[in-house]
Structure 1
Amino acid sequence: MKLAKIEIVRKWQDDFQSSGTCTIYDADGFPLFSALSLERGWKNNQRNVSCIPEGTYPVVLEHSNRFKRKLWEIKDVPNRSECKFHSANHWHQLNGCIALGLKYEMIDTDNYQDVSDSKMIMDVFHITLEKFDKVQLQIINDF
């Protein structure tokens, strides 16, 4: 069984937004992919408005009716479901999910850093993970 580890290291967070890095490692700890991460801020793990709590979670590829494609879903999040990795440029486009991007930049006028090129980066994320049978996510707060 081929195992991949996704590591999200949050570097900044407030009530609205969490920003950090996402790296995919193979079973030997070799980095295969790296991007910037974007999530909602911490709101006590409330559904649809909070980022996922720090911890370790299994991740499974499943079909999303909303997005009409297969997405990587984060399982076993306490009191939550449907937490996924998907493309988005702004924190307010996320309902407890995680978006990835190429760089931080001000795309809109809310004074928060957005992520650019999310669709392209998410495509590379999917290609990187397609050869793995088992995927695990570790979320670390480092701020």
Structure 2
Amino acid sequence: MELTLTRVYHPQGTNGIITLSGVKICESIELPWRKNATSISCIPEGRYPLKARTSQKYSQHIEIIAVPGRSYILIHPANYALTELRGCIAPVLKATTPGKGVFSRKALDKLMNLCTPVWNENKHVHLIIKS
């Protein structure tokens, strides 16, 4: 399965739309593009494998694998990129302004509901990030 994140870059944050086969799943917020600098930039455009991850802080969420020069890049709930993200992607039901959105946990649940059955069948899920 391949999800696509189509981004729009702004100085205050990066917004996007996550789709599956052209159908909108949710929107997204991220940090602005700052040349992939650790903890202050969104990650580079590209194609990345995804895997399920669980932590005490975020419960069930998604890890983005093989990001150049970065580690532990996650898809997790957040509503304000500049204070809640360190290079990760936050799904939101609606982006309100650059780098801000609402109903992030609900958006992550939608993504998890799509991806989990695929992972349970030992199949791959990828994210294509483009602008």
Question: Is TM more than 0.5 here?
Answer: yes
Q: Which runs of 5+ in 2 are unaligned?
A: none
Q: Which runs of 5+ in 1 are unaligned?
A: 107-111
Find out whether 1:121 has 2:117 as its counterpart.
Answer: no
Task: State the secondary structure of the residue aligned to 1:131.
Answer: helix
Find out whether 1:24 has 2:23 as its counterpart.
Answer: no
Identify if the C-alpha distance between structure 1 residues 113 and 41 changes in structure 2 by more than 3 Å, giving closer, same or farther. closer
What is the rounded CA distance, in whole Å, between the counterparts of 1:24 and 1:95 in structure 2?
Answer: 25
What is the rounded CA distance, in whole Å, between the counterparts of 1:113 and 1:42 in structure 2?
Answer: 11
What is the rounded CA distance, in whole Å, between the counterparts of 1:121 and 1:104 in structure 2?
Answer: 11
Find out whether 1:8 has 2:5 as its counterpart.
Answer: yes
Q: Which amino acid aligns with 1:101?
A: V
Pick from 74, 88, 100: which aligns with 1:84? 74
User: CA-atom RMSD, angstroms?
Assistant: 1.8
Deviations 1:36-80 (A, max 9, x none): 11000111111111101011111111233543x232100110110
Shift of 1:130: 1.1
Tell me the percent identity. 29
TM-score by length of 1: 0.80
Pick from 98, 102, 107: which aligns with 2:93? 102
Q: Which amino acid aligns with 1:123?
A: D
Task: State the secondary structure of the residue aligned to 1:123.
Answer: helix
Larger-gyration structure (1/2): 1
